[in-house]
């Protein structure tokens, strides 16, 4: 909703820019049915507003970080960095006697961390001929241009959310330096560590082992509730039935691991998703599972400025719409509340 409000505020700016453009008067003719440059300006400002609104509404399910991870906008768009604290809980309570002075401390240890904020930019535009043809045909401006610009920015943001961008000091959930523990899948009775070769009981044992690791690392405080899997692994457990039953492996796991709220597919974790999975390769890469709590207090994608389309600008024989988003990557407040499992 925030983006839509910004878009509405920019509509009047678009009208003024178009009215002052050297291109708009050339669109006034009997063929385009514009009586004046003002009429043309208002018409195309309305068209641009429609195009912008459609691109704001467009969702791309294949870019899973937008639906899978919490998103926050706590930093200001003008900030170059944002400081946060990465925490680990420590301490325990005990029975005390009257007048005790040695009360145990239950504390939260926080280390200050700095996240850098970077801009992701793009643009789209319409030539004067495209505007002329649009008016003559009555079809309106091609909204696919705006959607392509939005998609390009979202792809970049999604990549950062998963793998980060070390060159620009942006962290993702799979960035090797983010302090989230990493475990390697162990072989089952058949000699393979891959879930497609394991029984339902062995897969459940792996997941319970992940939970035990998180629990041990956090002194039984953290309880991850979401398991993201590569698409081929997810499809396998969601469709493979346990012998002599109608129960899938996925249903079996959810029934016997009550701490799990959901198991989801994320193509970014595939063994060949080299742009989002640091453990992937074009061939013989490794699948990765990500086990975490879907809670912005644990980790969140920090977007100081969600995707924004600026007012239209004139450039040569085109009207250009610049686009920008600002991101700090993933802020991980409690690294030990999550776990990365490699080789499933």
- Name the one residue in this structure whose structure tokens are 């002194």: 219
Say which DSSP state 22 is in. Answer: S
Number of residues that make up the chain:
344
Q: Is 219 left (phi over 0), alpha (psi -120 to 50) or beta?
A: left
The pLDDT of residue 40 is 84
Residues 6+ apart with CB under 8 A from 224: 210, 211, 214, 259, 291, 292, 293, 337, 338, 339
Specify the pTM. 0.86
* Mean pLDDT within 42-46: 87
Q: Does residue 7 have a pLDDT over 80?
A: no
pLDDT, tens digit (0-9, with 9 covering 90-100), for 121-167: 999 999 999 998 888 888 888 999 999 999 999 999 999 999 999 99
What gap in Å lies between CA 19 and CA 21, rounded to an integer? 6
Q: Is the pLDDT confidence value at 29 over 80?
A: no
> Hey, where are the domains in the chain?
2-74+116-171+301-332, 182-296+336-342
Q: How far is CA 264 from CA 1, 69, 184, 280, 308, in A?
A: 27, 12, 20, 19, 29
Q: Residue 66's pLDDT is what?
A: 96
**Are the beta carbons of 113 and 170 closer than 8 angstroms?**
no
How, if at all, do strands 305-309 and 313-315 pair? Answer: unpaired
Q: Which fold has domain 182-296+336-342?
A: hypothetical protein PF0899 fold (3.30.2320)
Cβ–Cβ < 8 Å for 115, 72: no
Cα 154 from chain centre: 8
**Separation of alpha carbons 171 and 278, rounded Å:** 12
DSSP string, 280-328: --SSS---EEEEE---TTTEEEE-SEEEEEPPPEEETTEEEEEEEEEE-
Write down the mean pLDDT value for the chain. Answer: 89
* Residue whose entry in the numeric block shows the structure tokens 């029975």: 95
H runs (alpha helix) in the chain: 2-19, 37-57, 65-68, 128-137, 144-163, 200-217, 231-239, 249-256
Residue 176's nearest CA partner among 21, 300, 335 is 335
């Amino acid at each position: 909703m925030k983006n839509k409000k910004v878009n509405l505020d920019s509509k009047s700016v678009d009208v003024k820019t178009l009215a002052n453009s050297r291109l708009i008067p050339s669109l006034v003719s009997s063929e385009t049915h514009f009586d004046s440059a003002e009429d043309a300006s208002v018409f195309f400002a309305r068209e641009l507003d429609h195009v912008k609104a459609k691109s704001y509404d467009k969702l791309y399910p294949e870019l899973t970080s937008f639906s899978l991870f919490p998103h926050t906008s706590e930093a200001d768009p003008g900030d170059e960095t944002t400081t946060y604290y990465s925490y680990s809980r420590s301490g325990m309570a005990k029975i005390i006697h009257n007048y005790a002075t040695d009360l145990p401390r239950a504390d939260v240890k926080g280390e200050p961390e700095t996240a850098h904020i970077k801009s992701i930019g793009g643009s789209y535009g319409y030539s004067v001929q495209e505007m002329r043809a649009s008016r003559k045909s009555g079809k309106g401006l091609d909204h696919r241009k705006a959607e392509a610009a939005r998609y390009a920015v979202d792809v970049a943001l999604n990549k950062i959310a998963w793998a980060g961008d070390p060159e620009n000091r942006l962290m993702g959930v799979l960035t090797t330096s983010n302090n989230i523990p990493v475990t390697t899948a162990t072989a089952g009775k058949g000699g393979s560590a891959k879930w497609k070769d394991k029984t339902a009981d062995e897969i459940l044992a792996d997941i319970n082992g992940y939970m035990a690791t998180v629990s041990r690392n956090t002194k039984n405080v953290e309880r991850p509730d979401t398991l993201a899997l590569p698409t081929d692994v997810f499809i396998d457990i969601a469709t493979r039935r346990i012998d002599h039953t109608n129960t899938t492996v996925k249903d079996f796991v959810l029934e016997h691991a009550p701490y799990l709220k959901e198991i989801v597919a994320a193509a970014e974790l595939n063994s060949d998703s080299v742009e989002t999975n640091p453990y992937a390769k074009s061939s013989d890469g490794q699948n990765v599972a990500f086990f975490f709590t879907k809670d912005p207090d644990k980790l969140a994608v920090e977007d100081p400025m969600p995707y924004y389309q600026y007012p239209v600008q004139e450039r040569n024989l085109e009207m250009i719409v610049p686009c920008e988003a600002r991101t700090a990557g993933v802020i991980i407040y409690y690294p030990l509340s999550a776990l990365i499992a490699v080789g499933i």
